[in-house]
Structures are given as C-alpha cells and as structure tokens.
Structure 1
Amino acid sequence: MTITEVSKKYDITPDTLRYYEKIGLIPRVNRNKSGVRDYTEEDCNWVEFIKCMRSAGLPIEALTDYVTMVQQGDSTIDARRKLLIDQKKILIDKIEEMKQTLSRLDFKIELYDKGLVMNEEEIK
C-alpha cells in the first residue's frame, strides 16, 4: 500500500506516518523501485497498533521504547510486558479521572436543567 492509501485507511496524515517512521515508532517501511513507500500488512499492523495506543494516551516515548524492544527480540519480552502493564495502570488512572469529571459535568448539567443555577460560585 502507498502512504496515501495507508493514510486514508487509518485516518492519519502522511506527514504523521513519515514522522512515526522517522522516530522509529513504525519500523522502517520498504520502498519500491521508484523509492515510494510500500506498506506491507505487517507495517499496517504497526500503524493500527500505534494509532490505538496514541488514542489511549500512551506517550510516544513509551511506544518507541516498546518498538525498539520488539526489534531486539525475545530477550525483551519481560521488559515489554512490564512497559505495557505500567502504561495500563496509567490509563486506568486517567479513565478514573475522566469518570469523575463526567460525573461532575452531569451534576452541573442537572442543576441547569432544574433551573437551580443561581451563581456559579455556589455550586463549585
């Protein structure tokens, strides 16, 4: 697949794909005889994985560490597992914080719906 096709498929700009490749987030993509990037199914799997992890808020640094370890082979399996577990804990904390924020928003919206909002200072 070309970079344009991958870009459309995963709703990521070509510039973002190039950047991810440049910093090692996506392993080096092969090029055809004309020098155009030729994404394989494996490359696309990486793009999908990275997009999913970024959407969940994982930092680029953690993901580049993960990709580097994958490329180093089986000797890094325990370290990769630990990295993913650590990131999962961080994500769970963020989700909990977002749930609390959502609850607070629901409360404020309910006050508006009931016409109880008189002064914002009173309901903080």
Structure 2
Amino acid sequence: MGSLAQVPDPGSRGFDIDTGDERPLRVFVVHKNGAISAFYNRCPHTGAPLEWQPHQFLDIENSFIQCAIHGALFRPEDGYCLRGPCAGQALQQIMVRVDDAGQLVAELPVHPGASVPDQ
C-alpha cells in the first residue's frame, strides 16, 4: 500500500491497491493517536468516494471521517456513522497492519465470494 510515514497523526491518506483487476481498489487509512484503521473509499449511502480533497477524509478538526457529498460523520476507529443519511450504518473496514519496515499491509479477503465492494 504505502508507508505509515505517509499518513500524518492525526490525518488520513488514500491509497490505490492493485488487485490484478482493471481498476485498483480504492482505500484510505486514518492515523489518530497512534492507532491506524483502514476502509474502502465508499460512502454506504451513495457509494461515492468520501474525500473532499486528495487524501482529506477527516473533518476540519481531524476528529471524524466526513463524507464530502452529504457531510455524514463516521468514527475513525470503526467507521460507524454517527450523523447523516447513513446514521447507524458503517464504512466497510479492512484489516491493515504495519510491517517491520514501516509499510502498511492490507489484509484483503481472498476467498471466493469475499465481500469486496464494486469500485
């Protein structure tokens, strides 16, 4: 994916993951208070990308993930929607870890029928 050093704390960054398909898988990472979380870059309400500028997925206070389309607010630790038209739903989270070299490694589903959203 990329390096953890590319994601400020607090902050966020989008990444495209090459899965061998025609289009890369669009994801983003949130880094806040030393913790990292990652999600598919897709609003559960409209399916649209979430960022309002390149790599800007958080609100102005860096407190919540904010959808650029309708302003929905999501918790950065688990993607749960607190406010907006998709309240009570959640972003689709992916597992991510930092390897010994400081690289972000996404752990994507690999079995048939795995839940990977259309991009």
- TM-score range (shorter-chain normalised) is under 0.3
Name the structure, 1 or 2, with higher relative contact order (CA <8 Å, separation 6+): 2
Which structure's residues are more often helix, by fraction? 1
Which structure's residues are more often strand, by fraction? 2
